[in-house]
Amino acid sequence: MNFKKLTKFINNIGKIYKIPCYDICIYYDHVNVFRSKRNTSSFSKKMKSIGRNLYFMQSGTKIMNCVALMRLVQGYKVSLNDQVCQYLPNFPEGITVRTMITEYSRANDPDEKVFNFLNMKELIEAISQTPFEEFIHTQITGPLKMKSTSFNLTSKSRKRIALQYRFENESEEFVGYDADVESIVKKHDGCILTSVDDYARFCEAMCSGGISQNGYRLLSKESVDILINELIYKETEKNDAFVCVGRHGGLVLIDTKKKITIVYAQYVKDMPLEQFEMYPNLRKLVYECIGADTWSMGYNVLP
């Protein structure tokens, strides 16, 4: 493995794409092979220590909640073919747990009334008979040693939220701005707040057949295969892979066949379409540097 090309590309993200900051972690076969974080803009002095930054994962949150539900499926607490209304009496009839996972992971409308975070949360609580945050902690974040991950804001995490940026069309630049923490949290209701290192631990466990670097069995290999290849919505046509780009530019890639995990985070609003060419270029370089076959087909990034 040789990461010279990737390092050069990453170091020039600010110059080429005008991205103000980045935070990236790459795992290959249980090993953290690449880690980089940097402030690239003139706002770097205002930026909190990037190594301690927390990000709202947005779409990346969905796969964690779907994994939580799949743990209940493989534990025979619920069947994929069960109707959700068996557990949530006010839920529309005719919708199975299988459909819930697929449509929840696909939904992008914040005003979605059926396949939303609240209903997913209540479904997990109803089946597990455990408060949602407790279930996530005992079944996922705790065993994976994800100490900086939570659905709830704390006095410590409040101080670690990454500086917000937005793209201004007139200047064609990303501009840093101070935002009220409470308003930020409200806009990201249902999103986990996590660090790149923490979230990479979760993703690499999925990538490695459901077992983590420290030996925790998150899911069975069969459950991982069913979730990624049959159930969850993903921005790729490729089998054995999950890809999603969050609303503010974060990237999650889990390739269970090549055992490659990429977690990339930034926090920018109104990202212009031309910036999205960064993602396939980043992915291509990662595979080349690791020495895996180039992934040239079936990779889509949907703005």
DSSP codes joined into one string, 66-99: HHHHHHHHHTTSS-TTSBGGGT-TTSPTT-BHHH
Q: Within a domain: residue 144?
A: yes
- What is d(CA 107, CA 250) in angstroms, rounded to the nearest whole number? 17
pLDDT tens, 31-89? 999 999 877 654 444 445 455 688 888 777 899 999 999 999 999 999 999 999 999 99
Q: Is the dihedral of CA 203, 208, 210, 212 positive or negative?
A: negative
Is 298 within the bounds of a domain? no
Asked if the structure places residue 108 within a domain, the reply is yes
Question: Per the domain annotation, does 301 fall within a domain?
Answer: no
Residues 122-146 have pLDDT tens digits of: 999 999 999 999 999 999 999 999 9
Q: Are 253 and 241 in contact (CB under 8 A)?
A: yes
Q: Report the mean per-residue pLDDT for the chain.
A: 85
Residue 228 pairs with which residues in a beta bridge? none
3-state secondary structure of 184: helix
The pLDDT value given to residue 298: 52
Q: Is residue 203 part of a domain?
A: yes
CB 51 within 8 A of CB 287: no
Across 7-11, 166-170, 290-294, least confident range = 166-170
Whether 299 maps to a domain, the answer reads no
Residue 139 pLDDT? 97
Q: Is residue 123 part of a domain?
A: yes
pLDDT of residue 33: 95
* Structural domain count, the chain: 1
Q: Which residue has the higher pLDDT, 74 or 244?
A: 74
- Structural domain containing residue 156: 4-290
Share of residues in the chain with pLDDT > 70 (%): 81
CATH number of the domain residue 257 falls in? 3.40.710.10
Please report the pLDDT score of residue 150 as a whole number: 87
